[in-house]
């Protein structure tokens, strides 16, 4: 089985392309009856988690034979991350990711996943809160209070040290283009023409 495309995507750090690539290669291998003993199951599972495609990750995990799940500790460790994501155990994602000694071929992928996850959680916090405690930000982001405060302040939030509250900096809303009267008149004429 030729896995050079997967290795190339890993070395190029094209992580967002890995899930569809692995899915396609696995389907091709299954259609040919090729053995998948050397298949990079851990990379495939992590690729779905990287894209935040939890349903595909769950179905992929369920489709794996028990002997594969039991024989590959790295795969089981990635599945623990997936379980934490599924259960919305934000701090557990970091604990699971940092609590395993990753191999050199996947360590960069795990680091990229965690960075992507931090950005996604930070965007969710930005859209959901106007003010939030430092402890809550630390919990959601899986960081220490000091690290999470530094991250938030670097991204434009402000800190009230007395109350240990962070004030969220909301992104500027896009202003819609205003129509002038001539454009509205032309649109009205087109609609009138179509109706009659």
pLDDT band at residue 179 using 50, 70 and 90 as cut-offs = low
Each residue's pLDDT tens digit, 49-68:
999 999 999 999 999 989 99
18: exposed, middle or buried (C-beta count within 10 Å: 0-12, 13-18, 19+)? buried
List the domain range (segments joined by +) for residue 161: 129-174
Q: In total, how many domains does the chain have?
A: 2
Do residues 112 and 165 share a domain? no
Specify the pTM: 0.80
pLDDT band at residue 34 using 50, 70 and 90 as cut-offs = confident
Do residues 91 and 38 share a domain? yes
Do residues 105 and 140 share a domain? no
Do residues 68 and 6 share a domain? yes
Listed residues 73, 91, 117: the one ending a domain: 117
Give the pair of three-digit tokens for residue 6: 């997967």
- Let me know if residue 196 belongs to a domain: no
Do residues 157 and 108 share a domain? no
């Amino acid at each position: 089985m030729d896995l050079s495309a997967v290795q190339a995507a890993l070395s190029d750090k094209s992580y967002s392309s890995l899930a569809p690539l692995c899915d396609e290669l696995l389907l091709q291998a299954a259609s040919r009856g090729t053995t998948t003993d050397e298949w990079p199951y851990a990379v495939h599972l992590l690729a779905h988690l990287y894209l935040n495609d939890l349903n595909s990750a769950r179905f992929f995990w369920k489709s794996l034979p028990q002997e594969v799940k039991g024989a590959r500790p790295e795969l089981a460790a990635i599945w623990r991350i997936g379980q934490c994501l599924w259960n919305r155990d934000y701090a557990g994602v970091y604990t699971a990711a940092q609590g395993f000694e990753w191999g050199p071929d996947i360590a960069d992928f795990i680091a990229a996943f965690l960075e992507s996850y931090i950005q996604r959680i930070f965007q969710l916090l930005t859209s959901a809160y106007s003010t939030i405690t430092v402890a809550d930000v630390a919990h959601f982001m899986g960081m220490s209070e000091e690290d999470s405060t530094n991250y938030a302040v670097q991204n434009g939030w402000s800190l009230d040290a007395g109350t240990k509250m962070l004030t969220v900096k909301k992104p500027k809303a896009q202003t819609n283009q205003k129509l002038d009267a001539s454009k509205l008149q032309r649109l009205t004429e087109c609609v009138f023409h179509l109706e009659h």
